[in-house]
Structure formats: C-alpha cells, structure tokens
Chains A and B, each alone.
Chain A
Amino acid sequence: MNKIIKNIRINILKLTHKAKSSHIGSCLSVVEILAVLYNKVLKKKDRFILSKGHAALALYCTLFEKKLISSKILNSFGSNKTILMSHVSHKVNGVEFSTGSLGHGLPVAVGKALKFKINNENNKVFIVISDGEINEGTTWESLLFASHHKLNNLTIIIDFNKIQSMDFVNKVINIEPLKEKLISFGCNVYQINGHDLSAIHKALLKKNNKKPKVIIANTIKGKGISFMENNNLWHYKNPNLQELNNALNEIKKKYA
C-alpha cells in the first residue's frame, strides 16, 4: 500500500509539473483516502464519485495504479487531444461521474443510493467532497434528503484539508462546529486522521444502521511535501523543475 501511495504522489508531482496545472495541494491531501477506497473497499458493484473534481489528477493516478488506465493515457495529462481534463471526466475508464463545479456530486450520489435502496440492491455509494463544498447549498439539501430516506448505503468522506481556494476555511466562511452540524442533519459522523490508512479503512468499514455515514477526514493540503503543506499558494501554482526535484527527494527519503 505504501508503494501505491508513493507512486501516486510521484505521478501527481511529475504530471502537475509537466502539465503546468493547478490544484496540486488538493490532490496530495486526498491520496490516502483514494488509495484505501480503490484498493481495500470498493467492490465492482459499488459506486464512487470524486465530487472535488479539481483533484482529478489524484484520481487518474489512482486508476493507473489499479491498471484501469494505461501509462500512455496517464502521461497525456495536460497535452492536447487528451481525455484527461483537469476536472474529473466520465470519459475516462473507471470514472463514474464527471465533476468540476462544486456541490454537484452529492445530489447525484444520493440519487444512486436511493435507487439501490428502494430496489433492495446492496450496492454501496461512496463520495469524496471537499471542505469548500460545505459552503454549497446542495450539500445540505442532499443531507436532508439522504437522512430523511435513511440512506445507510451512502458514505460521504469530507477531505477536510482546512484550506479552500482563497484562504483557510475558517477565514472564508466558518463551517464549525462541523461534526455537530452533520449530526444534527441526521448523519452518523466519524472524525479521523485522513492520512492514517488503518483509520480510513476502519471508518469505511463501520456498519451503518439507518443513517448516511459521514467521515470527516482531517487532512493536510499539500500533504507529504514540506513546502507545499498548509499553503494555499499550491492550490494554484505548479512546481518548477527545482521544486519538483526537491519534492521528489522528500518523497524518496520518506519511503526509503
């Protein structure tokens, strides 16, 4: 598993540099969550939506590790004529739904969960949303509906990296007390370290009785690269060659 995570991070760094693309911090915070989902939790019949579509590269790198997309396709990221746009695209093998505009994934996931539940199908629906998406009205509309219909086949993971586009979440729009808000909306809520593989796995496996499950995954934006961590500059900037080499050295040392 560590090797998978290392590879995902290396590919995110290299491809962001090559494509001169944005959102590297958002990609790095969600790596462990995606790795556990794809390698330990998701079954063929299950559905997964990455609602924070700007972390598309993290998903593509995860799909590559699962051999769902080829190295040729992965390396086309950022070039012309590629299917790998910088927001999640359903044209890519293994991707359930296109996202990019925040707050769209959860209503779709709720629709899928509702369909499975009322037809007594045991498919599960998983979704990762960003902390910025907590600002969206649709998030709360969907939670009301999911909770009313007791959609216990729905698991929402919040990649709570504490930084949204322009600034720290608590400086843009305070969303606290988040856990209490979610509980009051009728969800089972777990709070975990979103980089701890076993904690992620355990929380995902927890049984849901009559409520949708929400996992608040405390993560670090830019996780794994000292000069990218907790700095919203890396929501926008891509690493130059020197920064890329420094970052790759950090990864190599960490996983040596």
Chain B
Amino acid sequence: MRKLFIKQLIKLNKSKKIYLIINDLGFNVIEPFKNKFPNRTFNAGVSEQNMMGMAAGIASEKCKVFVYSIANFSTFRCAEQIRNDIDYHNLPVTIVSVGSGVGYGNLGYTHHALQDYALMRSFPNMLILSPGNNNELISLLNYINKKPQPSYLRLDKDEHEKTQLKTINITPGKIIKLIDGNKRKIILTTGSVQSIAKKMIKNNYKNYSLYSMPMWGMKSKIKVTKIIKNFSEIITVEDHFYDGGFGSWLQESINDTKIKTIIKSKYIKNTVINEVGSKEYLLKKYGPK
C-alpha cells in the first residue's frame, strides 16, 4: 500500500501545505514525493522523538504533516510526543506506520506492529485509519486531507491488486459492506485482513455478510453502538492482539448498554512471537482464523 499512499499524497498536495517527514526509512517508496516537493520532504534521521516533536511544530504553523515510518518506530518509540505534542494540541499530523501486524514477519518481533492500536486508540483526539484495500486507502487520505487532525494511518506492507480505483464515502465509525449475506450475522474487519475474512466465510462462517470499518477511534465509540445493535452477531477480525485491539474496542463500546449483540473476536495470538517466518506463515500460525 506504500506506493499508492505516496501517489495519492502527491495528488493531494496541490496547495503544498503537506509535509512528509521520515526517520531514514522509505527507500524506493517516498522518492516520487521528494522529487516533486523537495522542500516539503525531510529526513529527521534515526531520531523518532525529535521527528514527532518537529511534526507537531510544523503542524502548529498551519501545515499538514505526514510522518512516515515502519512498525513501532512512529508509535511506541515516540509515544509521549504523540500524546503531549500532537494529540493534546489537536494538531493535523498523520502518523503513518507501514507493516501492520506481522507484515515484517522475517524481521522479527521488534518489527511487528501488534500493540499499536492499543496505544493509538488511547489518545482522545486520535483517529485511526486502517485501510483494508486500495479504495479505502485513497478515500481515507481524501478524508484526512479535507479534515486534517491527529490521525494514525496503518498500512499493509504489501501492495494490493491494482484495480480501477473508486472513492468510497467513509466517515469515522462507519461500516462498509464488502459481501452481502446474512442480514444479522456479520464479519467486521479493520485493516488488511479482508482476504482472511473472505476465507472464514468460505469455511466456518458460511453466508455471513462481510463489512469493514477503516476509520475509528475513541470519539466514534458512541456512534458505533447504533450500528452494532442492528446485528445479532459480529465476528471482528484484525491483525493485532486482542488486548487493546479493534475487537476489544468494539466490545467496550457496548459495555454499560442494553445491546445484546454477541461480539466474538479473531486476532493475532496474545504472545511474544519468538520465531521468524514470512507474513503468511506467521498469520497462519498465530493469526485470526
């Protein structure tokens, strides 16, 4: 999804208000943006805390900033800068992390993004943008360009199949139908696990409808309850731990309500993954089924 992200970012930067900051990562990905906007692209070096503080500083001067990195480097490494400098000040910085879940499988646990929703969804102003396909990605970028705010864009490392791109109307907490089936029983995904969910429908969840929710966060918790009550059963699917993840976010949203919808969650096993393997191998062994 990285290349499409850069392509769309170039399209959106007509006003030249968009800045791209990297922490010495993004080789063979960010160059088209850099070539087109050399004085809007900065390499902060391997210094994520300074990078995130600088992003806040630039954003505080009426600019939109995208901070691009992989896995945990743009989240956990600079968590307090995100909390105090970006979220507290409600600044238009989009934090981009490539390699959702075990996308960087072979690089090992240090490069796996398994707890990032937990961190990012704990910030009150933060909007999570987790595209499951190319259409969702460009639609999310269009949205955040029109409504710049603290946001976390979580990208699949792999490029998705190139099809005719279509913009979808996405708002926070909204669900998008991907496969029509049972009206009351659904599978709900966030992020790049749609192919896993499709397999689940073929195997154990025959005739379930498939929906995705690519945009969510603390602020959309109340809104989402109105959607949940339309269904009798929701199976959430994500490439993240259960603790602090999407499924637990959805479950939290109906606590203290009278909603009786059954929510079950499929996720990456809550454990430190010590073994090395490809994304496919690790997902098969530890991922949602």
Residues of A within 8 A of B (CB): 90, 96-98, 100-101, 103-104, 106-116, 118, 137-138, 141-142, 144-145
Contacts and interface: CB of A to CB of B under 8 A. Distances in A.
Given A112-B60, A112-B61, A115-B61, A145 B84 contact: no
Nearest to B49: A138
A186 to B, nearest CB: 14
Interface of B: 19, 39, 42, 44-45, 47, 49-61, 63, 80-81, 84-85, 88-89
A140 to B, nearest CB: 9
Contacts of B58: 111-112, 114-115
B41 to A, nearest CB: 11
A170 to B, nearest CB: 26
Contacts of B55: 111
Contacts, number: 83
A145 B50 CA distance: 9
Contacts of B49: 103, 107, 137-138, 141
Given A100-B84, A104-B85, A108-B85, A144 B47 contact: yes
B44 A145 contact: yes
Given A107-B51, A111-B56, A112-B57, 17 more contacts: A90-B89, A97-B60, A104-B53, A104-B85, A107-B50, A107-B53, A107-B57, A108-B60, A110-B50, A110-B54, A111-B54, A111-B57, A111-B59, A111-B60, A114-B42, A118-B39, A141-B50
B83 to A, nearest CB: 9
A103 B50 CA distance: 9
A156 to B, nearest CB: 14
A74 B85 CA distance: 25
A7 B103 CA distance: 60
12 contacts: A104-B85, A107-B49, A107-B53, A108-B54, A108-B85, A110-B50, A111-B57, A112-B58, A138-B47, A141-B47, A144-B47, A145-B47
B103 to A, nearest CB: 27
A106 B47 contact: no
B34 to A, nearest CB: 14
Nearest to A89: B88
Contacts of B52: 107
- Across the A-B interface, give the 4 residue pairs with the lowest CB-CB distance, nearest first: A111-B57, A107-B53, A111-B54, A141-B50
A98 B61 contact: no
A108 B61 contact: no
B30 to A, nearest CB: 17
Given A145-B44, A145-B47, A104 B57 contact: no
